[in-house]
Amino acid sequence: MRTNKKQLLIIGDQIELITQLKENLSVHCEICSVNSMHSGYNLAVDLLPDIIFIDQTSLPPKSLKNISNFKSTHFLNKCWLVMYADENFKQGIEKEYKDFINEIIYTSTPYSAIFSRIIQQVHSKFSITNYWKDSFLGLFNLLLNPVVLLHQDSIIAMNDSFKQSFKIDKMEDLKLTDFVDCENKTKVRASLRNFARGKHMKAVTKTALQLKDKKIRNAKISFSKLDKMIHGQFIMMIHFYDDNSVIKDKVGSHSEKVKKCFEENSNLAEFSFTKREKEIIQLLCKGYKTKEISDTLFISPKTIEKHRANIVKRTNSDTILESIIYAINHNLIDL
């Protein structure tokens, strides 16, 4: 599993700076950018980024008055907040914002030094992702609702409430499909894969589930991605509720709402490769090595490796070979 990257959120409207940050840090960080403080705060609460980079030079002064909200928000007070600021206003900036941010980098600093400082932070032991994930796992068995942790469709952990609610004949190699009545287990696995590749962090649906005492109960099921850096891992939480009628006689993913939920996430995940990515995949299919691709396309081997890493990440694959097979099966490239 690829867990070395950290989440970087850029808040600013300076295209050149954002482009440089993305080009030089994409190997080390998952990067998102927005052009306003309001959008940046809302996205930060959703993503829980490890690093927030605020470009003071391109934002209206009035919007910066809300910068204290980041550190006063419980879920964001562990993030590393850095401001890129105008050297000409150094005294006023330090007086106004120093108490609310971790570090100020001024415009006199070369871009290369900015990249190095962020990379240094990436490789530090600090991680907001691990902080919140560890906190959740510590409370895992205390939750009253049935909860399971999934890797794709495999159940890798279940809390005590889940074990008490459902009939479990074995404790190893359990699949999500073992607890639902579904016609097509392959479709369930494919749907979860698409959800992993989709932009949304959460999907919610309602269905009916069969408990260990054979009773049928209505349930709201929430699927949430555990970590944007760990592909294919989810939390599934079940909330039972009473109603006069069962949602559907059949149990599990026969529910139209479940189907719709996964279809929506599948649509969100649709994408096409860039022209350069297609060229690289086509040459890989012909057996070209990195050096040969570099010579053919007149780009550096380092750039080739960046494109390969992006191809693997965007297809939610573990290897470049798996990505190529995925691209061929979904007619995403012309051979």
The domain in which residue 196 lies consists of 143-268
Six-digit token pair at 268?
């969100």
- Report the distance separating Cα 164 and Cα 213, nearest Å: 10
Is there a single domain that holds both residue 280 and residue 258?
A: no
Q: Are 282 and 273 in contact (CB under 8 A)?
A: no
| Phi, psi angles (nearest 5°) of residue 11 | -115, 110
Q: Are 261 and 221 in contact (CB under 8 A)?
A: no
Residue 136 lies in a domain: no
Residue 138 lies in a domain: no
- Reported pTM: 0.45
Residue 170 lies in a domain: yes
Is there a single domain that holds both residue 194 and residue 98?
A: no
Asked which of 131, 161, 196 is the last residue of a domain, the reply is: 131
Residue 113 lies in a domain: yes
Asked which of 216, 248, 268 is the last residue of a domain, the reply is: 268
| Phi, psi angles (nearest 5°) of residue 220 | -100, 130
DSSP string, 234-294: EEEEEEEE--SS-S-SS-STT-HHHHHHHHHHHHHT-----HHHHHHHHHHHTT--HHHHH
Is there a single domain that holds both residue 246 and residue 287?
A: no
Is there a single domain that holds both residue 264 and residue 279?
A: no
Q: Are 18 and 115 in contact (CB under 8 A)?
A: no
CATH number, domain of 114, equals 3.40.50.2300
| CA angle in degrees (0–180, nearest 5) for 143-50-195 | 60
Q: What is the pLDDT of residue 35?
A: 92
Is there a single domain that holds both residue 16 and residue 92?
A: yes
Is there a single domain that holds both residue 220 and residue 315?
A: no
3-class secondary-structure state, position 10: strand
3-class secondary-structure state, position 296: helix
Residue 1 lies in a domain: no
Residue 102 lies in a domain: yes
Positive or negative, the CA dihedral 211, 149, 264, 330 is: negative
Is there a single domain that holds both residue 154 and residue 88?
A: no
Is there a single domain that holds both residue 50 and residue 18?
A: yes
3-class secondary-structure state, position 205: strand
| CB-based burial label for 293 (10 Å; 0-12, 13-18, 19+) | buried
CATH number, domain of 171, equals 3.30.450.20
Q: What is the pLDDT of residue 252?
A: 43
Q: What is the pLDDT of residue 127?
A: 55
- Report the distance separating Cα 114 and Cα 48, nearest Å: 22
Residue 204 lies in a domain: yes
Is there a single domain that holds both residue 255 and residue 153?
A: yes
- Report the distance separating Cα 86 and Cα 92, nearest Å: 10
Is there a single domain that holds both residue 86 and residue 160?
A: no
Is there a single domain that holds both residue 61 and residue 118?
A: yes
Asked which of 99, 131, 163 is the last residue of a domain, the reply is: 131
- Report the distance separating Cα 191 and Cα 261, nearest Å: 9
Is there a single domain that holds both residue 182 and residue 67?
A: no
Per-residue pLDDT of the chain (335 residues; tens, 9 = 90+): 344 578 899 999 999 999 999 999 988 888 999 999 988 988 887 777 889 999 999 999 888 988 888 877 756 777 899 999 999 999 999 989 888 899 999 999 999 999 999 998 888 765 555 555 555 666 677 778 888 888 777 888 888 888 888 878 777 778 777 766 555 566 666 667 777 766 667 777 777 777 877 777 788 888 887 655 556 677 888 888 876 555 444 444 444 544 555 555 544 445 678 889 888 988 888 888 888 999 999 999 889 988 988 888 777 676 787 778 777 766 777 76
Residue 334 lies in a domain: no
- Report the distance separating Cα 252 and Cα 244, nearest Å: 18
As for how many domains the chain has, the answer is 3
